[in-house]
Structure 1
Amino acid sequence: MDNTVPTIIGASWSSYTRTICMALIYLGVPFRLQHAYPHSKLAYAHHPFGRIPTLIHGTHRVFETMAIREYIDTVFSSQLTPNDLETRVKMAQWISALNDYVFHYVVEGVCRRRLLSEAAGKSQDEITKLLVRPIKRAKPIIAELEAMTPDDGDYLCGQQLTWADLFVYPALAVIFALPEASIFMEIAPKLSTWTRKFEKRKEAIETFKGTIADDRNAMAKL
């Protein structure tokens, strides 16, 4: 294995960057985080589409989070990928649901729209009206995640931490940091409880600084 310390090109507030950083922390792999905004010069220098994150490890440049996950599993440790087929399939379903539905309809559709509206100086009433339809689309998706969530336990699938937990948590941390959180918590109490438990983990604590939740906490204290 290349003993070079890997560098993550990404941003603290990026859900996918946080996923990779949490994985490396859990696996005990030292790394550097080099901050880059999506579509910045630095992002394009390492990713053909200017997205984040990218992992640099020796002569290897790996972009796209799923590819980085595969690289980490192969080069560092596959501990986050279950050995048994049933749990591995459940993990893949969670990750796919996040990538295909949660990120598009909830993170982008609701959360990002709120943040951009706030940055544009829109009033709370204006934002509430703007989010009516996106929230209507997002609620069934969160309800399906709730149905997938086990009734008890610390993990989304199986009896150990998997990539599913590390992919899903950062997105939920954003969703539950915004005023719309109460809407989603009401229809997803198990998922909300799991998120609150997970945020106490070392991986979540050490990657909290610079996240959207961190920024909003700081703003609330002003």
Structure 2
Amino acid sequence: MNLDFSQIAPSIPYILQGIGVTLKIVGVAAIIGFVIGILLALCKIGRFKGLKWFADIYTSIFRGTPLILQLLLIYYGTPQLFDIKVTAYTAAVLAFGFNSGAYISEIIRAGILAVDKGQLEASMALGIPYKKMMMDIVLPQALKNILPALMNEFITLTKESAIVTVIGVTDIMRRSYIVGGNTYRYFESLIFAGVIYYLMVIVLTLIGKAVEWRMRRSD
């Protein structure tokens, strides 16, 4: 096997700089997705059919089409339709945020429905407003139950962020590809990128387990 990782050694710091780019995209997209997910989940369990239909259609579209298609439509389609230039970073954040929101909404909806109905009935009997009941009673309990699923979504988002390389974002994958082209050592540089993603997932998994353990301990 003709492997020589020493050829890419001088470029390792350059590839590692992509970690910050990746985490920045994933972090902002996760926040957007979480906010959208909560709003969609509330629409799905609400009484207004129009909002419920909107949430269901939104989820169906973003879960039923490839993420890379959504990314390309935002990056290339927005300037064409609205004459607004969208940077690669903005397109990545919006695409991942909108897509993640669809999946998170289903996770949160399931978590809300899993909360004991007796607590909802008791809250209504006490005259607690719906908004306050959801924010102070229902959602905190739901989040404890769905934390593993949310962390899994965050990990998936981290791995899928590699597709931003198609629009030129210099993340981990893009930088490793550039290094491979400069050194003619694609296998070594891509394997190194794979190791980085794997270690990131391991760290996120450990963080998720630590948070879950702490939340369960506080019960």
| Structure with the higher fraction of residues in helix conformation | 2
> What is the TM-score normalised by the length of structure 2?
0.26
Rg larger in structure: 2
The answer to which structure, 1 or 2, has the higher relative contact order (CA under 8 A, 6+ apart) is 2
> What is the TM-score normalised by the length of structure 1?
0.26
